[in-house]
Amino acid sequence: MNDFVIEAKQLTKIYGKQKAVNCVNLHVRKGRVYGLLGRNGAGKTTIMKLILGLTSVTSGEVAVFGQNIRGREKRVFPRIGAIIETPGFYPNLTGTENLEIFAKLRGTAAPGAVKNALEIVGLPCKDKKLFGKYSLGMKQRLGIANAILHDPELLILDEPTNGLDPIGIAEVRDFIKRLSSEQGKTILISSHILSEIALLADDIGIIDCGVLLEESSMNELKKRNSKYILLQVSDVPKTSLILEREFHTKDYSVQDEHTLRIYDTSLNMGEINKFLVMQNITVTSSGLCNDTLEDYFKKITGGEGIA
Ligand SMILES: Nc1ncnc2c1ncn2[C@@H]1O[C@H](COP(=O)(O)OP(=O)(O)OP(=O)(O)O)[C@@H](O)[C@H]1O
Ligand SMILES: [Mg+2]
Domains of the chain: 4-218 (3.40.50.300), 226-290 (3.30.70)
Among the bound ligands, the one closest to the CA of 39: 1
| CA-nearest residue, atom 27 of ligand 1 | 40
Q: Is 56 in the pocket of ligand 1 (CB under 6 A)?
A: no
Query: Distances in Å between the alpha carbon of 114 and those of 84, 144, 160, 187?
Result: 20, 12, 19, 20
Q: How far apart are CA 235 and CA 8, in angstroms?
A: 41
Q: With a cut of 50, say whether residue 307 has pLDDT above it.
A: no
| CA-nearest residue, atom 8 of ligand 1 | 46
| CA-nearest residue, atom 23 of ligand 1 | 41
pTM exceeding 0.85: no
Quick one: pLDDT band at residue 227, thresholds 50, 70, 90? confident
Q: With a cut of 80, say whether residue 296 has pLDDT above it.
A: no
Q: With a cut of 80, say whether residue 221 has pLDDT above it.
A: yes
Q: Is 192 in the pocket of ligand 1 (CB under 6 A)?
A: yes
Q: Is 205 in the pocket of ligand 1 (CB under 6 A)?
A: no
Distance 87 CA to ligand 2 centre (A): 14
